[in-house]
Amino acid sequence: GGALDDAARMFAHALDSGVSPKDFIDKMKKTNQLIMGIGHRIKSLANPDQRVVIIKEYAKKHFNSTPVLDFALEVEQLTTRKRANLILNVDGCIAVSFVDMIRSCGAFSREECDYLMDFGCL
């Protein structure tokens, strides 16, 4: 669960802070931190993880909005310029989709969503 929770927090906080995907990547690079939810040993742009494809399609079709997923996909566009395997991986995709789902479904207040993420519910 740690990788999912960290990816959810990392991408949501970056989006919420108003930072651009490029500035987010630059900050992570500058502070020598990994971007949780990015990267795969085997899968790449040329060999995508079908689980990620399915989750992205489902979220885009069924969730009211997907701003955190969209932000993560913008990050992926930039990271894959460096290496083709620096893709949004299945943990990252599940994490950002979960954030978008709880934020847009109408069942939770923003404070409740933030609490669920901070608590580490993934």
Give 3's contacts (C-beta < 8 A, 6+ positions apart).
36, 37, 91, 95
Phi, psi (deg, nearest 5) at residue 18: 85, 5
Other Cβ atoms less than 10 A from the Cβ of 63: the count is 16
Give the model confidence (pLDDT) of 32-76 as tens digits: 999 999 999 899 989 999 999 999 999 999 999 999 999 999 999
Q: Kindly tell me if the per-residue pLDDT of 98 is higher than 60.
A: yes
| pTM of the predicted model as reported, rounded to 2 decimal places | 0.94
Distance, in Å, from the CA atom of 104 to the CA atom of 52, rounded to the nearest integer, reads 20
